């Protein structure tokens, strides 16, 4: 190699290294800004809560609790109606002030929401207690025992749907979502590189889609098996969970594979988007009501977000409607598989195959083995032109 050629090679390497470093810095800057923007100061925005109170009590309670615009109140006739609404995930919790004030929360719906309700409720009770003590001090020198007991008794709190002991922090859903999205992305990229090694045909499309379905079921089985090691979801219906996890996996792999089939290797960015962007706004770690509006809307309409909500409701809130989340997942799965089928039925403009094993070609296309082998031998024996 001449000095000039070597010098040019070094310059090309430096340019390539500089470009790679610049791209890495830009990606890191963008992701850092995104992650911090979504989660560094997560604040509740109109968190739905319930209230059992008379008309006079309602004005006072709402005035004390809604400082900062964190809550959106709904009225309920009784404590039973409120707890039913919590179990259906219509509200994250609520307060009954018709008798002794009583707070109801649901840790399984989101520890952050339950903590916010507890903290706000406790602060309000302390404010009212301080006001009562001040009033008593101004009006009398003696306080009865019952009055003292009522002042020092901790506020009543009931966790209607608590988190299981095996998942005290409620982080399992986030881990499961990450595993499904990452595994589905890798599988889609791998299939996207394998399948195009044979000629396009409806047989190849069916084989590709069938492989995605088989992988989705296998992925769901793996997730359920790993959950059993740690006691997560031990009380859930296994068949229902298998169906939901399979649909989540197929939504991720199917839509990613459809993008790859439609636009080529760049379509794998769809899977990367689910993993890097979608998991943050899925509602697993940061509840939708604690996200900016953009993140909440986008997250609820991605496979990761719809999947998290479907799993949470199936695990902890069997009375809650799950249909809308299933519809989102099914849309991604169906559209992705349809794209895979359509792109395989369309004629191949290049009309070529690669060095894939001929037996795989035969299984996918149904061509006679002898014919393909004969063509290969003729091609191999032809003299170079």
β-pair partners for 49: 73
The pTM (predicted TM-score) of the whole model is: 0.77
Q: How far is C-alpha 118 from the geometric centre of its chain's CA atoms?
A: 26
Token pair of 64 as six digits: 């004390």
pLDDT at 199: 63
Token pair of 130 as six digits: 């301080």
Q: How far is residue 224 from each of residues 50, 201, 237, 240, 245, measured CA to CA in Å?
A: 34, 35, 11, 11, 8
Give the SS3 label for residue 292.
coil
pLDDT at 247: 94
Spatial separation of the C-alpha atoms in residues 221 and 191, rounded to whole Å: 20
Yes or no: say if 197 and 191 are a contact pair by the CB < 8 Å rule: no
pLDDT at 330: 96
With CA atoms as reference, report the closest residue to 191 among 170, 169, 216.
Answer: 216
Domain boundaries, the chain: 47-159, 171-345
Q: Count how many Cα atoms sit within 13 Å of the Cα of residue 135 in the half-sphere of its side chain.
A: 8
pLDDT at 371: 45
Spatial separation of the C-alpha atoms in residues 245 and 226, rounded to whole Å: 13
pLDDT at 128: 67
- Local mean pLDDT, 10-residue blocks, the chain (385 residues): 66 78 81 75 84 84 73 91 94 88 91 88 72 64 56 76 80 80 72 58 80 89 87 82 93 89 83 87 88 89 93 90 95 93 70 40 47 44 44
């Amino acid at each position: 190699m001449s000095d000039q050629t070597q010098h040019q090679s070094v310059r090309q390497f430096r340019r390539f290294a500089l470009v790679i470093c610049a791209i890495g810095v830009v990606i890191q800057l963008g992701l850092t800004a995104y992650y911090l923007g979504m989660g560094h100061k997560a604040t509740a925005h109109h968190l739905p809560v319930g209230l059992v109170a008379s008309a006079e009590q309602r004005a006072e309670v709402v005035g004390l609790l809604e400082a900062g615009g964190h809550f959106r109140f709904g009225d309920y006739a009784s404590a039973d109606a409120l707890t039913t609404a919590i179990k259906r995930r219509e509200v994250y919790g609520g307060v009954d002030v018709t008798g002794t004030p009583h707070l109801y929360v649901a840790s399984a719906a989101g520890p952050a929401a339950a903590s916010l309700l507890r903290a706000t409720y406790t602060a309000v009770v302390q404010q009212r207690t301080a006001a009562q003590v001040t009033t008593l001090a101004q009006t009398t020198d003696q306080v009865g025992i019952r009055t003292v007991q009522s002042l020092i008794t901790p506020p009543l709190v009931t966790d209607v749907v608590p988190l299981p002991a095996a998942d005290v922090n409620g982080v399992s859903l986030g881990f499961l979502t990450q595993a499904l999205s990452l595994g589905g992305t890798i599988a889609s990229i791998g299939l996207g590189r394998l399948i195009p090694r044979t000629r396009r045909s409806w047989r190849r499309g069916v084989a590709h889609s069938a492989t995605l379905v088989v992988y989705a079921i296998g992925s769901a089985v793996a997730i359920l098996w790993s959950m059993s090691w740690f006691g997560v979801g031990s009380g859930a219906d296994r068949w229902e969970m298998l169906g939901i996890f399979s649909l989540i996996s197929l939504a991720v792999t199917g839509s990613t594979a459809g993008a790859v089939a439609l636009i080529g290797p760049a379509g794998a960015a769809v899977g990367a988007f689910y993993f890097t962007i979608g998991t943050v706004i899925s509602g697993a770690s940061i509840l939708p009501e604690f996200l900016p509006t953009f993140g909440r809307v986008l997250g609820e309409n991605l496979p990761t977000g719809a999947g998290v909500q479907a799993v949470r409701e199936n695990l902890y809130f069997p009375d809650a409607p799950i249909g809308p989340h299933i519809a989102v997942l099914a849309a991604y799965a169906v559209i992705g598989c349809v794209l895979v089928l359509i792109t395989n039925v369309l004629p191949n403009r290049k009309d070529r195959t690669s060095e894939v094993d001929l037996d795989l070609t035969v299984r996918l296309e149904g061509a006679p083995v002898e014919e393909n082998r004969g063509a290969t031998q003729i091609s191999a024996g032809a003299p170079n032109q």
